[in-house]
A and B are shown apart, each in its own frame.
Chain A
Amino acid sequence: MAGSIPVSATASPAARPHVGPWQEAWRRFRKHRLAVASAVVLATLILAVLFGPLLWPVPIDEIDFTARLQGPSWEHPLGTDDLGQDLLARILYGGRISLSVGFTAMLVAVTLGVFIGSTAGMAGGKLDAALMWVTDLFLSLPQLPLLLLVIYLFRDSLKGIFGVEMGVFILIVIVIGGLRWMPVARLVRAQFLSLREKEFVEAARALGASKSRQVVRHILPNALGPVIVAATIDVAAAIIAESTLSFLGLGFPPDIPTWGRLLFDAKDFLDYAPHWALFPGAAIFLTVLAINFIGDGLRDTFDPRKVM
């Protein structure tokens, strides 16, 4: 039963200390040195954007025309932009939004994917076919143009309801999540199709467990491993997607300097102020790289069959 974590602890031999499934997972994950290092890097980045603004209390919108487009210095460690605003402060602040978009959009995508995948996998028949048709349809749409279109069309109305920052945040999270659930749905459906025929589910069924209990208590926990891996990759993809939207001028407004937005503003100054484009991009790169390495480690952790 590769690709699964046993949920109920099995009786361990008396001689050996008891090792729970999560402890076993942690033991395997630890072996993946690059993944552990990446986890440290990611944790540092998260701590930096959470507490960095406290340690570097420079306002993100302090305009200083005497310090325009300056390279890194002691006063401005990452330089300044065309209005003389401090880039370190802006990157730290923007990172909060970029990272929270990444995690929230992942939650949307995974929730949607698990729901659709498990419905299709449990129901079978016509509903399954219909849901998989919808999944294929979504997969055959060109993602990025669609993303742009939807954001463009609905930005103004949502801004009116939730205010600028919250409206854009909700829209971006829903749209990114809403266009990324398909791989999770397929994955979950495939897991369900094989798991629901397994003996332990049959046993639960025979004991009179309701359909929802079979799913929640028996099938879903065993399908979790690959979902966690997919979720990790989704966080990275969502961060990239947000930066992409902001880079095209369709994400957050200029007073909310997400990493993509900083790159959007920097792109016309590549010859005078290369540092302006280099640092925010490096922040995205480092974050996504760390998350992808962690994803690799998790894949080895949850699917030992694939360890090569």
Chain B
Amino acid sequence: MLVYLGKRLVYTIPIVIGVSIVCFMLVHIAPGDPLVSVLPPDASEQLKIQMMAAYGFDRPYYEQFFKWCLRAIQGDLGTSIATGRSVTGEVLNAVRNTLLLAVVATFIGFFFGLLFGFVAGYFRNSAIDKIASILSVIGVSVPHYWLGMVLVIVFAAQLNWLPPTGAGPGGSSEWRPDWAHIRHLILPAVTMSVIPMGIVARTIRALVADILSQDFVPALRAKGLSELGIFGHVVKNAAPTALAVMGLQLGYLLGGSILIETVFSWPGTGFLLNAAIFQRDLPLLQGTILVLALFFVMLNLIVDVVQTAIDPRIQRS
């Protein structure tokens, strides 16, 4: 176990370095001047040089990269060019909002995905199975932001039950666990939950069907184990894969939340990223992408480790 853990950690390091290099480079191979959005068009040449020096853009790339990495490790991702605030603070605030949305959506999505998947896998080729399978294909085929718009049309514009946009009353971005804030969470979270729902249902169905066709199931039945006991064995066998899918999906939701956040004006990372892109705010852009990518890598690592912990078969391979 410890050896595997060490190997997995060592394997993660080059990926983290690669991700940082890509994040750093992408911004610098961009054509155009990184300061174009803060300087007035008639800025003097001297002011330009001063600003370039102040932000460190005049140093060679490798030097900028090492400085950037060094400060990033200390938790300082630089200063946003557009707002002048610390990138770390802005990103962390946004990550919190996105995580809230993504975690709630993952739970809703997983609950129904597991339900559909287990039922469909257990009663293979029954009517329930066919309906569940078709529903899960629909779930992966529908453009999620469009689903969000349809929900807004129905529940906000027509029925007027729920607020169409924002994270709280009066456009507040601080989240509090009261009804006024939960009301704002419902539509985006439900929309987002459809993303993992279909994939989870499909994966679990195939998995359950596969487990049920293995030899140990008739053996358990033959020794007189109750159906509930057999169900327990199926769950145990399906858990590692289900967990892996869950981690991966949470990662996708973190990265893919930008659409849902645009539809519902949810103040998360996607929203921040969009703003950073349109304002050409390089430090903010680098910081947000780096944090998102590292989250993704960490999540993969955690999933792998937990998977190994609960399924000793993985270690041997």
Contact = CB atoms under 8 A, between A and B. Distances in A.
Interface of A: 34, 133, 136-137, 140-146, 148-150, 152-154, 156-157, 236, 240, 243-244, 247-248, 250, 263, 266-267, 270-271, 274, 277-278, 281, 284-285, 288-289, 292-293, 296, 308
Given A270-B153, A277-B153, A289-B141, A133 B292 contact: no
B209 A308 contact: yes
B146 A146 contact: no
30 contacts: A137-B15, A140-B15, A142-B289, A144-B256, A144-B259, A145-B255, A145-B258, A145-B270, A145-B288, A145-B289, A146-B26, A149-B277, A153-B31, A240-B143, A247-B259, A248-B262, A250-B277, A270-B152, A270-B156, A270-B157, A270-B164, A274-B157, A277-B146, A277-B150, A278-B153, A281-B149, A288-B141, A288-B143, A289-B141, A292-B137
Contacts of A140: 15, 19, 293, 296-297, 300
B14 interface: yes
Given A140-B296, A142-B292, A277-B153, A244 B143 contact: yes
A285 B292 contact: no
A149 B263 CA distance: 19
B149 A263 contact: yes
B124 interface: yes
Contact of A289 (B29, B138, B146): B138
Contacts of B209: 308
A142 to B, nearest CB: 3
A143 B26 CA distance: 14
B137 A293 contact: yes
A308 B149 contact: no
DSSP majority for the B interface?
helix
A263 B146 contact: yes
B125 interface: yes
Contacts of A296: 137
Given A142-B293, A263-B143, A289-B137, 16 more contacts: A137-B22, A140-B19, A140-B293, A142-B292, A148-B258, A148-B277, A156-B31, A244-B145, A244-B259, A248-B262, A267-B149, A270-B152, A271-B153, A277-B153, A288-B143, A289-B138
Interface residues of B, number: 50
B124 A308 contact: yes
Q: List 3 tightest A-B contacts by C-beta distance, closest first.
A: A142-B255, A281-B146, A271-B157
A281 B209 CA distance: 34
DSSP majority for the A interface?
helix
Contacts of B132: none
Contact of A236 (B15, B26, B141, B153): B141
A285 B146 CA distance: 9
A308 B26 CA distance: 46
Interface string B200-232: 000000100100000000000000000000000
A304 B274 CA distance: 45
A292 B134 CA distance: 10
Contacts of B22: 137, 141
A243 B143 contact: yes
B75 interface: no
Contacts of A284: 143, 146
A181 to B, nearest CB: 16
A116 B236 CA distance: 37
Contacts of A247: 145, 259, 262
Contacts of A270: 149, 152-153, 156-157, 164
Contacts of A236: 141
Nearest to B29: A153
B114 interface: no
A300 B18 CA distance: 38
Contacts of A137: 15, 18-19, 22
Nearest to B286: A149
